[in-house]
Structure formats: structure tokens, C-alpha cells
Amino acid sequence: MIVALVGNQNSGKTTLFNALTGANQKVGNWPGVTIERKEGHVKGTDITVVDLPGIYSLSPYSNEEKISRNFVLEHHPDLIINIVDATSLERSLYLTTQLLETGVNMIVALNMFDLVKKRNIHIDKDKLEKALNTTIVDISAKTGEGIDHLLEHVKKYDVKENKLLNIYPSDVHDVLVSVRKDLAKADIENDYFYAVKTFEGEEDYAKHISSSTKEKMLQVQKKYDMDGEELIASLRYDFIDELKKESFTNEEIEIREKQANKKLSWTDKLDKIFLNKWAAIPIFIVIMALVYILSVGLVGGLTVSFVDALFNGSEEIEFNFFGLVWTAPFEIAGIGPGLGGWLESIGASPWAVSLVADGIVAGVGAVCNFVPQLIILFICLSLLETTGYMSRISFLLDRIFHKFGLSGKSLVPFVVGVGCSVPGIMASRTIEDENERKATTILTPFMPCSAKLPIISAFAGFFFGTFAWLVSLSFYFMAIIVILLFGIVMKKFIFKGSHTTYISELPEYKTPSFTYVFRDVVDRTGAFLKRAGTIILLCSVAVWFLGSFTWEFKYVDGTDILINDSLLANVGMTFAWIFAPMLGGNMSWGAAVAALTGLVAKEEVIGSMTTIAALAGENVELFSEADVIFNFFNPITAFAFMSFNLFSAPCFGALGAMKNELGSTKSMLKSALFLTGFAWLVASIIGSISWIITAAGGTL
Amino acid sequence: MKNKHMHIVAGEIVRLSLLKRGEQGKVISLQNDNKALRRRLLDMGITKGVKIEIKKIAPLGDPIDVKLRGYELCLRKADMAEIMVEKL
């Protein structure tokens, strides 16, 4: 049995989906969390639940609505569960009236019933059930109340038959019946649904309508002095208004209206602070800075050296508290050297030892150093999303973003993109306006994602010491400036002069649920670790392999045959000229290889560099004097190389997501080329400064 | 054309974007050439006769959070300018 889950954005749909299927889809307190349809099974049954994107209507104008509409009409689900936010019934039932016209049997799940009771909203379920002639179950997806009851209805298929409820006055209904007859004659499925749509003015089936029916449509529309679309929308709301009088009252709202602002809700009170005319922007800056300082500054500084010691061994470790550095003795063999030593002791060949210590552990470990700070970053992002603050930020910044050809809603992709560009790019789908949406999709990869963090931290940590955090922070600001600049360029030259819109909601503030935040963080960290264990591991082994053998398949032992003769050096050398300008004129095959592997995954830039450095010399600290491959870097070229890696084409995963959102491989490639070209230009300009200084006899 | 500093009296028909915080208007018409946007506004319940209250204004003056039909919705001023209301 196939059950389609349909409801408004932010109605608790994904929460219900998770409760029904035991899956762990992402839940957020901002509209549009479900961006594609997702499927799951109810345990121990043959029931498949399909979670459709959150929608308000079944109009043909937006992609989400088209996806949902096509699914309901063409995939013939056995049942629709229409999840309805019981705290804003009027608007929610608007979609319900449309779903009822599809003829598919339906259960209305009145969600957030716990809040309904708390707020003294009175809903007469029996009357509502009778008026809509459909099955109604009250639930609270969040607390789990009523879910069993709902499941029982589904399992037993204890559902009223959908008899195509008529909600229109007789004059309009008569015309709809004529339209339906014409469509039925033409053998069109879902004739009632399409009759209403044709009345609204959709063209698809207009050719089947007889001229006399057309005349009737025009007459009734003239009588009401509205076109079909407006008339149907008005009549739906009229029907709901009537229903409201009979079966539900929202006492709280009525009381509040009478007392006029005397008793503000929590959300209104908090908004007085977070959306205060003067305080809002400073608060926003402080919150974002806190997120950064907590994760990268505090936790990052305190843990990187420790995790590195676990992988690669150490005698002492370093704690960096915003530039205050102190060291502590910490003697540990480390996984890499430990495994290597053990392999040696059992008589393994030198290349096998090298594969494990230099290839696998060094490469993967370089990426894992950043896990503690990522966990903190993910916790912060999850809190921003679930509390409802994220929606405030987009409300707050829309005015600015709008000027730059973006939407306030672009902020969600950008902030989510700090974690990972892929969900960031997907989140751009909630933006109404096509141009703003495309611009957001193309620009989201500019945000330094969590995989780029290792690049920033490694370079900045070595070259900028005390000011490392400042340099890292500067990349986020640079990213924002670049995004706004390109926004305006695209608005002026590519997407000229079209009208754009912003329609959104400010969800109520919610106390974040510990379980959700926990699950979300475990999920995201798991995904990061999974990459470290799969794609990064493979890539590190490939880099190790190419770096350990020559064209003649001779092992690079570091004494007779040097790494500069390796396959990797040969491959890298063919690309090195591209990177020479940003590296102050240095032809570095190592840097070229690192940048190329960054296409597979951005973390791999540092993974490759660490592997290459480990192959070239034992126990070498990256970028130090002893690191013969990368010791040419100076602060300027380091900054240039970081810029290139941050702003160039994102990883393959993000490119795939871009392709989906932009709709074609061609647009994706164009965007990737544009991103990379821009990154190259910026990096080369910065790198050239180093060139000029050294050419003039200066040292860096 | 009314300018935004002028006082609007009850019963006057004005653009929704001209109402101030806490003021209410009854929708008279939707004048919009953008079909998708017009439909979206209709879908959100902005139909003839519905009462809309200005609830919250973004710190930078735009967008604006309005209340109608028991829920709240954020709109840009430019879009609100195409909704004619009778001030209540």
C-alpha cells in the first residue's frame, strides 16, 4: 500500500514521516525542509510512506506543487495522509479542499493537538469530519500522541470513501458539472479535479470543453466579477469560513484581539528582541560570530593537535586558545606509526608500511583532525534551524539580499552551506523567484563548507599563528562579499529587470528537542566520517600509489628514486603551470595534485598534501623547512592557494546538486567554469604580489 | 498618490503597503500582472473581503509580517503595493 504524506510547509510533515517509518529525515523549523519526495516503510508492514514537499496549493506554478500534484494524480497512491497544522486550520484546510477533489481516499491528521489544547482552541472533530466527509485523526507528531491511532486506521484501511465533496454554491457547481461531463467524454482521468482546474483557467484540457460550457463558465465568472482562479480561491475560503463558524473557534486569538497586545505570545515577545529595529543586526552578528568562535576558535584550537597526535603520534601537544598557545607533554605512538611499526616487525615490505602509515592514516587522519570542531558547528547549525531563528535571519536580511539580486531565503542555503553545500544548494528550492533561486544555487558553493575548513585551518594555523582565527574568519567575510558582488552582477547582466517576490512565514520559536539535535549532529558527523572512510581513503591510497611508483613501476624509496620522479609528480607537473601564478611563480606538482583532488572532496586537498609530504620525508610537519615539497609556501601564496580552493568549482557532490537545481549539465558546467575562473583570477592576483616582492629582492 | 507620511483615515482605499504597524485593512482587489504571484497570494488566503493586519516590520523596513485568517505571512512591500485595501 502506498501512502502519500501531503501538507503545508512547516506543518510537521517530516516529523510525522519519521514517526511513521522510524527514519531520520532532517527536521527543521523553517519552511521547505523536504525538498524532494522521500520514501520509507512502516516496520512490519507493506506500507510505503511517501513524504512529498510542503505545499499550500496544487497550482501549476511551482515545482514542489507540480511534484506533489503529479504524484497524487498519476502514481495513484492508495491513501493520502493530509497533515494539517491544527493551530492554523483555516489556511491548512485550503489545501485539504483541493486534495479532496482528486478523489483519492484521505485521512486528515490534525497535528499539534497538544498545542491546540494548551491554547484553548476548540475544534469539534465530529462536525469537521462530517462537513469534510473524510476521516480525521488528531495527533501530535512531536510527542508521538495519536500516531498509533493513525497507524491503526492506515493498517486496517479504516478510511471513509472519498465522494468528491462539493464545496461550491450551486451556480458554480452546475458549471463545474458541465465541464466535468465534457472532460469525461474525452476520457480524461481525474475529471473532477481537472474540471476545477480548467475552470480556474488551466489550458491543458481546455480544448475538450464545448463552446456552450465555455459560455457558462464566462457567465458565472462575470456574475461574481472575478476570473476563475480568484473565484475558486474565494469560494474555498468561503467554505472554510462557514466550517469555522460551525466547528472550530480559536478563543486565544479572539481573546488576544480584544486585549490588543496586552498579552503577547512568547514568539511575539522574542521577536520584539530578535527583530528589534536597532538590536536585530547586532544580535545576528554576535550569534554568527559566536557560532564561529565556539567551533573553529575554541574547540578547534583545543583539539586539532590532540586528534593529530592520535593518528600520527607525538611527544607533546599544543592547545591554542585564541592565539594563546601552550603545550602539554603527551607521548603517544599514534595509529599510523604504531601500525607501521607493527607491520615492520612482522616483516612487511617497506611499501606496505608506507601505504598504511603515509597513505591511509596520514591522509584520513588529516581530515579527522577537524571532527571535534565540526561537531560543535553542526550543533550550532542545528539549533539555528530548529529554534526558528533561521527564518528570522532571512526576514531580517531580505531587504539587503533583495538589492543584490538574492532573496532573504538565500540565507538558509548560505548558512546550511557552511555545513555542506549539497543540502545548502537543495535548500535554495524554497525561493519563489526563479532568478533569485538560480543565483543562490550558483553562489552557495562560495560559502566555505565544513570540508573546506581543514584547508583553512591547516594553512592559517601554520602561516598566521596568533592571527589564524582572524584569517579564517576573513574567508567567511570574503565569501559574503563575493556572493553579494556576483548577485548584483547577475541581476544587472543576466537576469535583467524581472519582478521578484518573497513569501514566507515566521514559524513560532520552539525549544529545540535534544533528540533531534543529537540525531542531526550524529547524521552530519557520520556523513563526514563516512567520506573520510570511503572517498578520502580511496583518494589517499590513489595519491599514495601514484606518489610511490615511477613510470617504470619502480618503488620510490626516497634514497635512489625520489618522489619527484613518481607518476604523481609527472601528472602534477602537466598541470603545475596553471597554478604557478597563484604560487608566486612556483611550479609545484604537489599543489597541483592537491587542488585537483579537491574536486573529488575538498578535505582531500589537505589529505593529499599530507600524504605527499609523508612520502617525501618521514615525520615531516606540513609546510615546515623539512617539507621539501611544500616549504615554498609563504603567507601570501598560502592565502592565494586557500582562496583558489575555497572559491573554485565545488566537489563532485555539490556539482551534482547544482545540476539538479539548474536543470541541465550545461548550466552546471558553465557555473563551475565561472566559479573556477573567478577563483583562479583572484588567487593569481594575490599570488602575484608574492612574485613581485621576491622579484624586487624582498623576502617573505 | 498618497505619500507614506500622510494619515490614512478609516474607509479610505489605499495600497496595503501604506498601512502602518497595527493597522488593518479589508482587501478590495488584487492588481497583479504576475500570474504565479497572484495565484500564490490567492492561495495564501488574500481574497476579496479578507482582513489583513500589519504585525511586524523587518528591522530594515521590508519585508513585512502581516496577519490574516488566523496566521501570519511575510510579504515584500513591492508586492503589498499591488493589493488594494479599505482601511478599517
**Residue A369 scores a pLDDT above 60:** yes
Structural domain including A241 reads: 170-269
* Substitution target from A501, A504, A506, A509 for chain B, most B beta carbons within 10 A: A501
Angstrom CA distances, A651 to A125, A378, A449, A480, stand at 51, 20, 10, 20
Residues A74 and A130 in one domain: yes
Q: Is the pLDDT of residue A322 over 90?
A: no
We report the CATH number of the domain holding residue A130 as 3.40.50.300
Q: Is residue A424 part of a domain?
A: yes
Q: Is residue A327 part of a domain?
A: no
Report CA-CA distances (Å) from A379 to A233, A305, A325, A383.
Answer: 42, 22, 26, 6
The CATH number assigned to the domain holding B37 equals 2.30.30.90
The per-residue pLDDT for A223 is: 95
Percent of chain B with pLDDT over 90: 68
Structure confidence by residue, pLDDT tens digits, A512-550: 888 888 988 898 888 888 888 888 888 889 989 999 999
A228 and A191 share one domain: yes
Quick: pLDDT tens for B61-87. Answer: 989 999 998 888 999 999 999 999 999
Which tens digits make up the pLDDT trace of A435-450? 888 899 999 999 988 8
User: What pLDDT shows up at residue A261?
Assistant: 47
Last-in-domain residue among A98, A129, A156? A156
The answer on pLDDT for B54 being more than 90 is: yes
- For residues A22 and A151, membership in a common domain is answered with yes
**Confidence at A284, pLDDT banded by 50, 70, 90:** very high
Three cell numbers written together for A407: 532573496
Q: Kindly report the CATH number assigned to the domain that includes residue A244.
A: 1.10.287
Q: Is A51 on the interface with B (CB under 8 A)?
A: no
Per-residue pLDDT band for A305 (boundaries 50, 70, 90) equals: confident
Residue range A181-187: mean pLDDT, rounded: 94
Q: Is residue B2 part of a domain?
A: no
pLDDT (average), residues A645-661: 86
Are A64 and A131 within one domain?
yes
From residue A638, alpha-carbon distances to A473, A577, A625, A632 in Å are: 15, 17, 15, 10
Q: What is the mean pLDDT of residues A287-296?
A: 83
CB spacing of A399 vs B37 below 8 angstroms: no
Which of A230, A234, A502 shows the shortest C-beta gap to B63?
A502
Q: What is the pLDDT of residues A6-20, one digit of tens each?
A: 999 888 888 898 888
Touching B: A residues 473-512, CB under 8 Å: 499, 501-506
Residue A453 and residue A461: Cα distance in Å, rounded?
11
Residue A459 covered by a domain: yes
Does the pLDDT value for residue B2 go beyond 60? no
Q: What percent of chain A has pLDDT over 90?
A: 36
The whole domain housing B33 covers 13-87
Judged by CB atoms closer than 8 Å, whether chains meet at B59 and A226 is answered as no
Out of A51-60, A249-258, A291-300, A311-320, which region has the weakest mean confidence (pLDDT)?
A: A249-258
- B58 and A398 in contact by Cβ < 8 A? yes
Decide: helix, strand or coil at residue A614.
helix
Mean pLDDT calculated for residue range A594-603: 88
Q: Within this chain, do residues A404 and A438 fall inside the same structural domain, yes or no?
A: yes
Are A140 and A199 part of one and the same domain?
Answer: no
Q: Label residues A341-374 b or e (16+ Cβ within 10 Å = b).
A: eebeeeeeeebebbbbbbbbbbbbbbbbbbbbbb
H helices present in A317-410, as ranges? 335-345, 350-354, 362-368, 371-387, 389-403
Query: What H or E segment, with its residue span, contains residue A571?
Result: helix A567-579
pLDDT (0 to 100) of residue A37: 65
Mean pLDDT of chain A: 86
Is B70 within 8 Å of A91 when comparing Cβ atoms? yes
Q: Which of A280, A670, A264, A665 is nearest to A490 (CA)?
A: A670
Residue A573: helix, strand or coil by DSSP? helix
Confirm whether A493 is domain-assigned.
yes
Same domain, A49 and A195: no
Q: Is the minimum CB–CB distance between B11 and chain A shorter than 8 Å?
A: no
Domain match, A6 and A81 both = yes
- Residue A107: which of A241, A6, A240, A23 has the closest Cα? A6
Shared domain check, A253 and A142:
no
Which residues from chain A sit within 8 angstroms of residue B50, using beta carbons? 237
Residues A175, A261, single domain; the answer is: yes
Tens of pLDDT, residues A623-652: 888 888 899 999 999 999 999 998 988 888
Total tally of structural domains belonging to chain A? 3
Establish if B17 belongs to a structural domain. Answer: yes
Q: Which residues in chain B are contacts of A505 at CB distance < 8 A?
A: 71-74
B79 in any annotated domain: yes
pLDDT at B59: 92
The reported pLDDT for the residue numbered A3 is 94
Q: What is the pLDDT of residue A26?
A: 57
Calpha distance B15→B25 (Å, rounded): 9
pLDDT (average), residues A163-173: 93
Question: Total domain count for chain B?
Answer: 1
pLDDT confidence band for B13 (50 / 70 / 90): very high
pLDDT confidence of residue A248: 75
Please indicate whether residue A431 or residue A17 has the higher confidence score (pLDDT).
Answer: A17
d(CA A67, CA A51): 11
User: What confidence score (pLDDT) does residue A139 get?
Assistant: 92
Smallest CA–CA distance from A241 into chain B, residue: B69
Which pLDDT value is given to residue A592? 94
Quick check: A233 and B43 CB within 8 A? yes
List the one residue out of B22, B7, B11, B33 whose CA is nearest residue B67. Answer: B22
Name residues whose C-beta falls within 8 Å of residue A342's C-beta, 6 or more positions apart in sequence. none
Q: How far is B43 from chain A (nearest CA, A)?
A: 6
pLDDT of residue A1 exceeding 80, the answer is yes
Residue A260 pLDDT: 46
Cβ–Cβ contact B20 with A under 8 A? no
Say if the Cβ atoms of B43 and A237 lie within 8 Å.
no
- Dump pLDDT digits (tens) for A229-277: 999 999 999 999 999 888 876 655 555 555 544 557 788 899 999 999 8
Task: Choose the mutation target among A61, A268, A401 for the interface with B, i.e. most B CBs under 10 Å.
Answer: A61
* pLDDT over 90 (residue A199): yes
Task: Based on the fold, state whether residues A147 and A6 are members of the same structural domain.
Answer: yes
So what's the ipTM on this one? Answer: 0.92
Q: Are residues A147 and A214 in the same domain?
A: no
Q: What is the mean pLDDT of residues A585-610?
A: 90
Give the model's pLDDT for residue A666. 92
Distance from CA of B58 to the nearest CA of A (A): 6
